[in-house]
Structure formats: structure tokens, C-alpha cells
Amino acid sequence: MMGDPLNAREDAAEALGMVARAAGPYLDALPHLPVRDATHAHLVDDLDGPLPDTGDGTIAAVADLLRIGTRAATHSSGPRFFHFVVGGATPAAQAADWVTSLLDQATGLWLTSPLAARAETVVLRWLKELLGLPASHGGVLTPSATAANLTGLACARHWWAGRHGVDVAAAGLAGLPPMPVFSSGYVHPSSRKALQLLGLGRDVVRALSRDDAGRLDVDALDRELASSGPAVLIGNAGEVNGGDFDPLDELADLAERHGAWLHVDGAFGLFAAVSPRTAGLVRGVERADSVAADAHKWLNVPYDSGMAFVRDPAALEGAFGGWHTAYLPDPDDELVNYNTRGPESSRRARAFPLWATLRAYGRAGHRAMVERHQDLALRLGRRIEESPDLELLAPITVFIVCFRYRPPGVPESELDDLNRELGEALIDDGRVYAGTTVYRGKVALRPAIVNWRTTEEDVDLLASVVRELGGRLLTTD
Ligand SMILES: *Cc1c(COP(=O)(O)O)cnc(C)c1O
């Protein structure tokens, strides 16, 4: 019967060949495609329909997904998707991601894939070296920075409950006071989400800011810690709206002085460590107790891919291990079961794309990419400062450029609406993608340049499309 995969064995290689044959034209077109092509938007309807009874067979199903997908996808892995912080996929990482699917390793236990376990161990070691973290740190690959924040903060919770004499992994939170958590105004919603999942509550975070951008009030934090008891600090290495960094060295000093746990959310910003030009922004991160980062942002590994590191390698087993199940092997430092070191159990071999990209481009290649993105952001900053109708709103640190359209003669009171409309017009237009935020009370555009494919022409196009669409809004109002 056609619907039985057992009868489709011969189709397996042919189906993969179809994907490979589609890849060439797709990747050739990617630099020129609009980010989203409205003329193909209706194709998503073709995904819908009743659950097939007999099925169309391998070739027809894969062909249809390719037909729909290559047209209706958001071409966010191309060079002109500047919304949020969305990385591309380097050629080596993308190909290795296919290898990951080809080999389909059950990655969690050493026993099910010594290959994937060893790749993870090697990749974590390479990443620590690349990012300037101590080799003695423990680590685990995660699906995302949200999961990595969850991982780091779960270790923090375990440590904190231990200070109160409770093994929270076994006994839970009952009877414990609220966990004191402090951060700056830069704290990312995913850290709050992690705290929410951990039963600590997302509102437990006290954001101590000394200005409306959200910069950390170090003195206030020092005062709070003097009376808080054991506490957790969240340092933010890269804030998504303006691109600023918390002073990690000062946070580490405070954590040391008051015996607090320092967790650093370095989702994208941790990779500033790769270049001497930007490494100062993350100085002190090597002193943190736990560190979270994404690979699918600035490292340009395909979705999904993140990582968590902890100073005390036993902290991961403490928070996530201890299954005590007859059919699982005991923890072992050589033959690592990564399912005892993070929130997942069965998992994808996420190490392969990381391994391939680090092997392919090395320290120098990743440094070149980091520096190019900063150069492109600074170039965009110059375009903005040269343009009488654009206004730069925040200093450029790495690759986020926070600015707004401000044509002469438009009163301040109308600028927020104008920029909001402009953000919508950019998305509708589709040539370049950028979104709006509110920065220091002002509606702003905040493109993030974080894709290895992006060139000077792409960045110049962003500036000119913003001015073109802005001008059009003015004349139609
Ligand atoms: C993107 C981001 C996150 C969350 O990362 P995901 O990969 O989306 O889970 C956390 N913190 C910061 C600063 C981020 O930029």
C-alpha cells in the first residue's frame, strides 16, 4: 500500500535529492528575494486540507512542501531580514543540519549515540574557548536561549534552595520564601518566562534601573543585596532594543561580595567576546555562575540551537539529573548522558551544525563575521546621521541600530504614530524587514544586522527604503 512507509524505502534518497536540487536555485535567489513575497502569501492555504487516508506518497508530499515552502517562506535566512535578532545559517552549519537529519541520532544518552555525545562534548569545549569561558565550566546544548536561561536559572534555584537547606529537585519549593532576583531594566522576557516555569514567578525580578533606558543602578543593587539574603542576579549581555550591555564585571564584584549567584543572559551578546574590538562589552562574564547564549543568532547556526554553561559542572546534574530509573545508566564524566544536564530528555544532535561551522570557519572566520556586522551597523549609523530626516537614538555597540524617522517640520507629538506606520509599511513592502520598539519613550526602528550574507548594499537599501516609505507616508497623510 502506498501509505505504508515500508513500501517507500526506495524513495528516501530520491526525496533527499529533490531537496538538494531545490537548494541550489533557492540559495542563489536568496540574496535577491524580497524578505516576504506577498504574491505567494496565499500558498500557505495549500498546506491545509483533510488528513489524508491513503496518503500521496513520499515524492508527492516532499515536492509539494518544496513548492509551497520555497515561495511562501519568510526568507529570513537571507541578507535583509533585520527584524528581532534572527541569524542566518552558514553553509557548513546548514549542510551539517541536513546531516543531523540524515543520521537521526537519539541524543540524550551516550549509549544511544556515542557520536552525538562526543560531538557535544567537543563543541562545548570549543565554544568555551571561543567565548573566553573557563575550560572547567560545565555545559549543555539547548534548543534556545530561553531554554538556556531556564537551565542556568534552574541551577541558580537549586543553589539558592540549598542555601535554605532544601533539595528543591527532590522536595520542590513548598515552605521556601520567594527567591530574590535582581536585574537591570535590560532583563529579557525569556528570563522572566524561565522564572515563571520554575515556579518562582516572573514578577519576582526587581529591575533596578537608574534611567529610562534601563541601565543598572549598581548602588541600589549593592544596598538591596546587603539585606536580601542569598539572591540571584541576572546580567544582560546585549539588550534587544538599544543594544547596550550590563556592566558584568561590576555585577560579578557584587555577587562575590554578597555571596549571590550571577546568571548572564548573553543570547546574542556573548559573541562580542570573539573580537578584541568588542570583547570589553562582556568582560566579567567568565566570573558568572551560569551563562546562556543562542547559536541561532550571532553564530549563524540554523534554528534551533542554544547553549548553557555553569561554573560548577555538578550544578547541572543537581538540577536536572537524579532520575534513579532502572533502565538508565549512571552518570559518567567520560560517557556523558546529556539528558541529565538539561531540561530535555530525547533530543536532536544539535552539536553537528555547531561542530561543522566551528570546524569550517574557526576563530578567525567568526571574528570576521562579528566585526563585519559591527562595521555594517556603524555604516548604517553614519547614513542615519548624514540624513536630515533620520535620527539615531542609541549608541551602536555591536549590531543593533536604534533610530527613527524624523523629517523636519513634523512635531514631536506625531513622530510615534509616524514611526509605527513606517514599521508597518516596511513589513508590507517586504524588500527589507525591520520592526519597531519603544526606546526611552520613543517609537523607534531597531534593525539588527546579524546575518553572514548581509552586505553594504543591503544596509544602504534599508536606509533608502526607510526614507522612501517615510516620504510616501508624509505625502499621503
Ligand atoms: C533572543 C533572546 C533571548 C531568547 O532567545 P530564544 O532563542 O528566542 O529563546 C533571550 N535573551 C536575549 C537577550 C535575546 O536576545
Asked, for residue 87, whether it belongs to a domain, the answer is no
Rounded CA-CA distance 103/326 in Å is: 28
The single-letter DSSP state of residue 209 is B
With beta carbons less than 8 A apart as the criterion, state whether 271 and 131 touch.
Answer: yes
Angle between helix 248-258 and helix 218-228 axes, rounded to 10 deg: 20
Asked, for residue 375, whether it belongs to a domain, the answer is yes
Q: What is the pLDDT of residue 251?
A: 98
Span 407-461, pLDDT tens digits:
999 999 999 999 999 999 999 999 999 999 999 999 999 999 999 999 999 999 9
122 HSE (CA, 13 A, CB side): 17
Closest CA to 352 of 102, 7, 46, 24: 102
The single-letter DSSP state of residue 144 is S
Let me know whether 228 and 349 are in one domain. Answer: yes
Which atom of ligand 1 sits closest to the CA of residue 236?
A: 13
Dist. CA 336 → ligand 1 center (Å): 27
Closest Cα to atom 5 of ligand 1: 145
Dist. CA 370 → ligand 1 center (Å): 18
Closest CA to 181 of 246, 260, 251: 260
Q: What is the pLDDT of residue 409?
A: 95
Let me know whether 135 and 68 are in one domain. Answer: no
Dist. CA 357 → ligand 1 center (Å): 21
Let me know whether 243 and 257 are in one domain. Answer: yes
Q: Is the pLDDT assigned to residue 223 strictly greater than 80? A: yes
- Residue 242: count other Cβ atoms within 10 Å of its Cβ: 22
Percent of the chain with pLDDT over 90: 94
Let me know whether 440 and 403 are in one domain. Answer: yes
Rounded CA-CA distance 131/126 in Å is: 9
- φ, ψ (nearest 5 deg) of residue 123: -65, -40
Let me know whether 46 and 62 are in one domain. Answer: yes
Asked, for residue 419, whether it belongs to a domain, the answer is yes
The torsion angle over the Cα atoms of residues 74, 78, 80 and 83, rounded to 10 degrees, is 50
With beta carbons less than 8 A apart as the criterion, state whether 397 and 448 touch.
Answer: no
Closest Cα to atom 12 of ligand 1: 267
C-alpha cell at 26: 533557492
Let me know whether 349 and 447 are in one domain. Answer: no
Rounded CA-CA distance 208/227 in Å is: 15
With beta carbons less than 8 A apart as the criterion, state whether 119 and 355 touch.
Answer: yes
Asked, for residue 241, whether it belongs to a domain, the answer is yes
Q: Is the pLDDT assigned to residue 190 strictly greater than 70? A: yes
With beta carbons less than 8 A apart as the criterion, state whether 466 and 446 touch.
Answer: no
User: Cα–chain-centroid distance for residue 240?
Assistant: 11
Angle between helix 11-29 and helix 91-103 axes, rounded to 10 deg: 160
Span 80-132, pLDDT tens digits:
999 999 999 999 999 999 999 999 999 999 999 999 999 999 999 999 999 99
Q: How confident is the model at residue 333 (pLDDT cuts 50, 70, 90)?
A: confident
Mark which of 296, 331, 360 sits at the end of a domain. 360
Q: Whole-structure pTM over 0.95, yes or no?
A: yes
**CATH number assigned to the domain comprising residue 118:** 3.40.640.10
State the average pLDDT over residues 14-18.
Answer: 97
Q: Compute the 3-state secondary structure of the chain and give helix, strand, coil in percent, each to the nearest 5.
A: 50, 10, 40
Three-point CA angle 232, 238, 239, nearest 5°? 85
User: Cα–chain-centroid distance for residue 383?
Assistant: 27
Let me know whether 335 and 452 are in one domain. Answer: no
Dist. CA 145 → ligand 1 center (Å): 5
Across-strand partners of 404?
391
State the average pLDDT over residues 361-388.
Answer: 98
Q: How confident is the model at residue 274 (pLDDT cuts 50, 70, 90)?
A: very high
Rounded CA-CA distance 460/260 in Å is: 46
Give me the domain span that covers residue 45. 5-75
Q: How confident is the model at residue 1 (pLDDT cuts 50, 70, 90)?
A: low
Dist. CA 400 → ligand 1 center (Å): 14
C-alpha cell at 141: 546544548
Closest Cα to atom 2 of ligand 1: 267
Let me know whether 174 and 29 are in one domain. Answer: no
With beta carbons less than 8 A apart as the criterion, state whether 181 and 231 touch.
Answer: yes
Q: What is the largest CA-CA distance in the chain?
A: 74
Euclidean distance between the first and the last CA atom of the chain, given in angstroms as a whole number: 62
Rounded CA-CA distance 440/351 in Å is: 39
Q: Is the pLDDT assigned to residue 332 strictly greater than 80? A: no
Asked, for residue 82, whether it belongs to a domain, the answer is no
Let me know whether 54 and 131 are in one domain. Answer: no
Three-point CA angle 2, 5, 10, nearest 5°? 85
Asked, for residue 91, whether it belongs to a domain, the answer is no
Residue of 294, 397, 437, 450 to test ligand 1 pocket, by largest number of atoms within 8 Å of CB: 294
Determine if residue 206 is left, alpha or beta; phi over 0 gives left, psi from -120 to 50 gives alpha, anything else beta. Answer: beta
Name the domain count of the chain: 3
Mark which of 360, 385, 404 sits at the end of a domain. 360
Mark which of 301, 335, 360 sits at the end of a domain. 360
Dist. CA 239 → ligand 1 center (Å): 10
Closest Cα to atom 14 of ligand 1: 267
Q: What is the pLDDT of residue 2?
A: 62
Residue of 83, 188, 236 to test ligand 1 pocket, by largest number of atoms within 8 Å of CB: 188
Rounded CA-CA distance 443/440 in Å is: 8
Let me know whether 40 and 14 are in one domain. Answer: yes
Residue identified by cell 541601565 is 215
Dist. CA 146 → ligand 1 center (Å): 6
Q: Is the pLDDT assigned to residue 315 strictly greater than 90? A: yes
Q: Where does ligand 1 bind, in terms of residues with CB under 6 Å?
A: 85, 144-146, 188, 190, 238, 240, 265, 267-268, 294, 306
Q: What is the pLDDT of residue 334?
A: 77
Asked, for residue 353, whether it belongs to a domain, the answer is yes
Let me know whether 58 and 125 are in one domain. Answer: no
Span 59-78, pLDDT tens digits:
999 999 999 999 999 999 99
Asked, for residue 296, whether it belongs to a domain, the answer is yes
Dist. CA 266 → ligand 1 center (Å): 8
Q: How confident is the model at residue 331 (pLDDT cuts 50, 70, 90)?
A: low
State the average pLDDT over residues 281-304.
Answer: 98
Let me know whether 366 and 355 are in one domain. Answer: no
Mean pLDDT of the chain: 96
